[in-house]
Structure 1
Amino acid sequence: MGGFLSELGKNLAKQWVSLLVVPGCLFIATVAFGLALGHRRWWEVSRATKWVTTIDTGPRGVGVLTLVLVVLLITAAAAGLLAQAIGTVVERLWLAQRWERWPRPIRAIAAAVTRVRAGRWTGHPDAAPRRPTWIGDRALVPTKRVHAAYRMDLPVVWPALWLHLPDNTRAEITSARLAYSTSAALAGWGVLYVAAAAVWWPALLVVIAVWITAWVRARQSIDTYARLIEAAVHLHSPDLARVLGFEQEGPLTRDTGARLTYLLSARNDHHTVRDAVLEVRPQGPTG
């Protein structure tokens, strides 16, 4: 047990340094450069480094420098936690779950964006966007496709299917979901760098680069996540049906998919199978 706790502590320390302290130190350094240089003389890096030559190398100076480093590490970690918190908000905004319940001004903007996105689609109404973001709609695709193929309410069946999945499959899905959260956290750093750009305009380039990178990575990771969920349903839902007592041979049928929904739905004592299937709400396993 002692060895396990020691190894766990090492892993947590590594994550703390890599996810919070190092990016936080870079952010604090950028803000410090910005405060020293300003907008007008943004290129004179030597002005920001002159203070290094004035550091007292005696015992007192070393003590002061140590204190400064400790404060820097604490501040960097705090900035990292703030970026993580902002990233959580960004993650929810990108998914746009239940955007109809957002505060009125934001809800009006989201509704307008959704209408514009829906207007670009000329196919069947069921294929039109339902959320104001591409990421949000991509997260809904598995639910819609699974329902169309198997008459299965994926949010209802997913918890049981998740418990039934092999460890390697769950690891792949978890990794893709974590990659999306990491992308949102990167966007959180982009929001923080706006503060640096306010005092030193070159930091705006960092904001743009970070946000583009975060958005591209988020799209890629949520697409991978959605594809893995669909694959897991196709590959493992027939076996889940057999485990739950259904006579199932070969691919899952629409009748069995509806029966799975009915069996696993908390509302099955008040609804028929048809009612339970037709009341699928537009939210996927990420909701």
Structure 2
Amino acid sequence: MAPVLDSLSQKLAEKWLSALAVPGLLLVAAVAAGAVLGHGSALDGSLLLGRLGQWAKEAGRWPALGQVAVVTAIVLAAVAAGALVRACAEGAERIWTGEWPGPARALAGRLTARRLARWQRIERDIGRLREPATASLRDERVRQDLAELAARRDAIAFAPPRRPTFTGDRMAGTEARLRHQYGIDLAACWSRLWLVLPEDVRTELRTSRSRVDAAVDGSVWACCYLLLGCLWWPAAVAAAGTGLVAWRRGRRAVTAHAELVESAVDVYLRRLVDELGVDVSAGPPDPRVGTALNRVALKAR
């Protein structure tokens, strides 16, 4: 048992260091630089180095206990910043997925309507290109136009948008596709499906989910730097870069995670059916199987 606990402690320490301490230390350093330089001397490296040298000389004359206390305070400030970001990540994830709170629902409705109108307009253009005879569809230019329109449509959503964000529609679209294909309530049946998944599949799902979480955390860090930009304008530039990277990585991570979840259901739903004993028919699962699984998951009669 002791080796297991030691290994777990080491993994938790590594996770804590990467997820909380390092980004928090960067933010603390940025706050210190902003406090020294401000807007007027935002890029004055000599001023910053001079102030740091002065602080180092003063700290060198302190007793060892005082130096340890300062280092401890810096580390605690970094951890507190990281903990604050993690606490705000749940709210940020709701923004990513389009589950906006009451005061923002009106804005969410307008954005959803705008995204739906764009999606439907492109879908109509695709339909017009498909109307001519089959001979026209063989034309290379028509095929290229269709591919470009399909890419533009899928960049908005894979199905008619129901959320104000791409990531929200991507996850909701996965649930809708699985419900249409198998009749399964993914939210109700997922925990039971998880129990029959092989460990390597679970590990891959955890990894893909961690990429989504990292992107959400990155957006919160970007907000922190944006607030610091009120004191020191280079932080606003860093916020823009951090936010852009988080947004791009988040879209890719959510797409990959949604595809992996859908693939897990496609491949292992039959195993769940066999384990629960709700269906003995041959052939691939159909909506009747999903209905039976939902009754088991929801304890419905």
Whether these two folds match at TM > 0.5 is yes
TM-score (normalised: structure 1): 0.84
> Matched residues in 1 for 2:22 and 2:60: separation?
28
Q: Distance in 2 between matches of 1:51 and 1:150?
A: 65
1:223 aligns with 2:221: no
- Give the conservation status (yes or no) of the 8 Å contact 1:156–1:261: yes
Equivalent in the alignment of 1:259: 292
* 2:236 is aligned with 1:172: no
Whole-angstrom distance in 2 between the partners of 1:110 and 1:148: 25
Q: Sequence identity, in percent?
A: 32
Q: Deviations over 1:158-206 (max 9, x none)?
A: 2222212111112211221121111111111111112321111011111
Residue 255 to residue 88, structure 1, CA distance change in 2 (3 Å):
closer
Range with greater deviation from structure 2 (257-266 or 227-236): 257-266
Task: Give 1:81 deviation, angstroms.
Answer: 0.8
What residue number does 1:4 align with? 4
Q: Alpha-carbon deviations, 1:128-171, whole Å to 9, x = none?
A: 21111110010112211112222233223322222121111122
Q: Structure 1: state its 5+ residue gaps.
A: 270-287
**Closer, same or farther: CA 11–156 of 1 in aligned 2, 3 Å:** closer
Find runs of 4+ consecutive structure 1 residues off by over 6 angstroms. none
Say yes or no: does 1:85 pair with 2:87.
yes
For 1:145-156, list aligned pairs within 5 A.
145-156=177-188
Determine which of 199, 208, 213 is the counterpart of 2:231: 199
Under a length normalisation based on structure 2, what TM-score does the superposition of the two structures give? 0.80
Mark the runs of 5 or more structure 2 residues left unpaired by the alignment.
125-157
Counterpart code for 1:16: W
> Aligned residue for 2:119?
121
SS at match of 1:250: coil
CA–CA separation in structure 2 for the residues paired with 1:65 and 1:89: 37
Residue of structure 2 equivalent to 1:42: 42
Relative contact order (C-alpha < 8 Å, sep 6+): which is higher?
Answer: 1
The SS at the match of 1:76 is helix
**Does 1:250 find its partner at 2:283?**
yes
Mean CA deviation greater in 85-94 or 155-164: 155-164
CA distance in 2, matches of 1:49, 1:22: 21
Greater fraction helix = 2
Checking the alignment, whether the CA contact within 8 Å between 2:24 and 2:77 is kept in structure 1 is yes
Match of 1:210 in 2: 242
What's the secondary structure of 2:233's corresponding residue?
coil
- 1:21 equivalent to 2:54? Answer no
For the structure 1 residues 57 and 85, does the alpha-carbon distance in structure 2 shift closer, same or farther, using more than 3 Å as the test? closer
Name which of structure 1's ranges 171-180 and 242-251 shifts more when overlaid on structure 2.
242-251
**Structure 2 counterpart of 1:22, which letter?**
V
Q: 1:205 to 1:154 in 2, by over 3 A?
A: same
Give the equivalent residue in structure 2 for 1:273.
none
**Matches for 1:224-243 after TM superposition, within 5 Å:** 224-243=256-275
Query: How many Å separate the matches in 1 of 2:106 and 2:232?
Result: 34
